[in-house]
Chains A and B, each alone.
Chain A
Amino acid sequence: MAMSIEELKEKILDKALNGPKAQLYVKDFHAIDPDASPRAVKNAANDLVKEGKMVFWSSGSTTMYAAKGRAKDEETREA
């Protein structure tokens, strides 16, 4: 049985905060709950962005998710 949206959000945030990779593709969250539909996972990750706990990082062609503060900040990054 798929997790509730709140459980899903909690696990996604935990992975984004404590996982080895700072920036993750939406597919990287699918393994958290194999029973959840990709749309449910996407919606949960997007909710976390709306709540200000996660951010989008985009190259323009691809978008990744990161916990707030863990994403690469291009403004301050040395070239």
Chain B
Amino acid sequence: MPKHVTPLMDELEKGPWPSFVSDLKRQAEKNPQCWDIVGQMELSYKDKMTHWKHGGIVGVFGYGGGIVGRYSDVPAQFPGVAHFHTVRLNQPSSKFYRTDLLRKLCDLWEKHGSGMTNFHGSTGDLVLLGTRTEELEPLFYELTHELNWDLGGSGSNLRTPSCCLGKARCEWSCYDTQAACYGMTMKYQDEIHRPAFPYKFKFKFSGCANDCVAALARSDLSAIGTWRDQIRINQAEVKNYISGANKPNGGGVPGKTGFDIQKEVIALCPTGCMWMEGDTLKIDDAECTRCMHCLNVMPKALRPGLDQGASIMMGAKAPILDGAQLGTLIVPFIKMNPDGEFEELVEVIEKCWDWWMENGKNRERLGESIQRVGLPTFLRVMEIEALPQHVKEPRSNPYVFWRDEEVPGGFERDVKEFRKKHAQ
């Protein structure tokens, strides 16, 4: 029996798509506090303003993240959501779950919270929605001691790292994204659980440039799989695509007939590095940007090279204080070696953090810090020489800045000597 009259929320149950309002009402049959979520949202829709108070000092002992405080500003009207804290759990790499663990987690969450969940938050965490302050410590104890499950990151912490399916399911993955994600999660436990930075910092790991976790757009530091030798070509399979024996895109375009390699692959190559010689496909790998388009269209014929690793981009973010930014290529290639505990990646991460912790302003994402000081300065911080891969095209930017030590004799001039030669 509904506790509140909610005509505006009821509108969101109409239509063929799933409705979170229906989910809330179903859960409310078991847990009446969920009626107050629907009721408070109805009031917010009516008033056209939120009735949540934001943030707070809630958390579990020893952790400075993972719990986000939420309180209702109309608790007398909606006592079920007077406290409605969010709990972020560190999802397993690539979100592979054991169903028995999920059942136990749901039981635990019904015991200590609203029973409502969000699979998953935009960073990747498994999110438990809505509990009271006094339930946090018992929930955390059972989570960690019985389910062996930890909280994720929030606030000015390293946020829970996330990765694509990687080598578990994907033949294109150029490194073991799950090993990297898990390895960095374990290495940087202190940074995940205790605030260390001027603002949030996110890692994401994609195995190839298809970038299935959208690392390029969403993470301060993204490791995107790539290779530095030649694309492996199986010319017999190329012919099978041309003859129609192989379906392009792995048959992923239903109803599509015919295949024009010139139009669908060669003409769409962003650097124009492919051509046909007779019925043989040729690629000038030095010009290839590893965009993955040709491999996606002809997966049986083309495969990533064998000298594999990752490109490191930095500075992506959503628009909070400043506009949205994609990541900027900082390190074109590093090896991603799990046996070496991702030593090269760790070196890049720590160099960047050491600088940002000291130089980043409060609430300034890494991308904004890089923009403020300029890419040449940041490259110097990272001890990386500017490379052709750092620019989109040559000679389109007239503002080339030389430093004193880069100019023979520096910028100091003897004016009298200069006048002797030029004062005519």
Binding site for B on A (CB under 8 A): 25-28, 30, 38-39, 42, 46, 49-50, 55-63, 66, 71-75, 77, 79
- When distances are taken between beta carbons in the complex, the residues of chain A under 8 Å from B74 are 79
Chain B residues contacting A46 (CB-CB under 8 Å) are 64, 194
Interface size on B, residues (CB 8 A): 37
Interchain CB contact under 8 A, A55 and B57: yes
Instruction: Assess whether B194 is in contact with A42, with CB atoms less than 8 Å apart.
Output: yes
Query: Which B positions have Cβ atoms within 8 angstroms of A?
Result: 51, 53-57, 59, 62, 64-65, 68-69, 71, 73-74, 83, 86, 133, 154-157, 194-200, 320, 354, 357-358, 360-363
User: Given A55-B57, A56-B155, A71-B57, A50 and B68 touching (CB < 8 A)?
Assistant: no
Cα A58 to Cα B284 in complex, Å, equals 52
Name the CB-closest residue of B to A78: B73
Cross-chain contact B357 with A63 (CB below 8 angstroms) = no
> A42's closest neighbor in chain B, by CB?
B196
Residues in A neighbouring B73, C-beta threshold 8 A: 79
- Whether B55 contacts A74 by the Cβ 8 Å rule is yes
A38 x B156 contact (CB < 8 A) = no
A30 proximity list for chain B (CB < 8 A) = 358
Complex partner residue of B195 from A63, A77, A79, CB under 8 angstroms? A63
In the complex the two chains form, is A60's CB within 8 Å of B57's CB?
A: no
Is A26 a contact partner of B195 (Cβ separation < 8 A)? yes
Contacts of A57 in B (CB 8 A): 55-57
A39 to B191, CA, bound (A): 10
Q: State the majority secondary structure of interface residues on A.
A: mixed
Q: Which B residues lie within 8 Å of A75 (CB)?
A: 56, 71, 83, 133
- Complex contact B357–A38 (CB within 8 A): yes
Neighbouring B residues of A50 by C-beta, 8 Å? 62
How many angstroms from the CA of A30 to the CA of B362 in the assembled complex?
A: 12
Bound CA–CA A66/B357 (angstroms): 19
A13 to B156, CA, bound (A): 20
List the A side residues contacting B62 at CB < 8 Å: 50
- Knowing A25-B362, A75-B83, the reply to whether A59 touches B55 (Cβ < 8 A) is yes
Pairs across A and B, CB under 8 Å, 21 listed: A26-B156, A27-B198, A27-B361, A27-B362, A28-B362, A42-B195, A56-B59, A58-B69, A60-B54, A60-B68, A60-B69, A60-B86, A61-B154, A62-B156, A62-B199, A62-B200, A63-B156, A73-B57, A74-B56, A74-B57, A75-B56
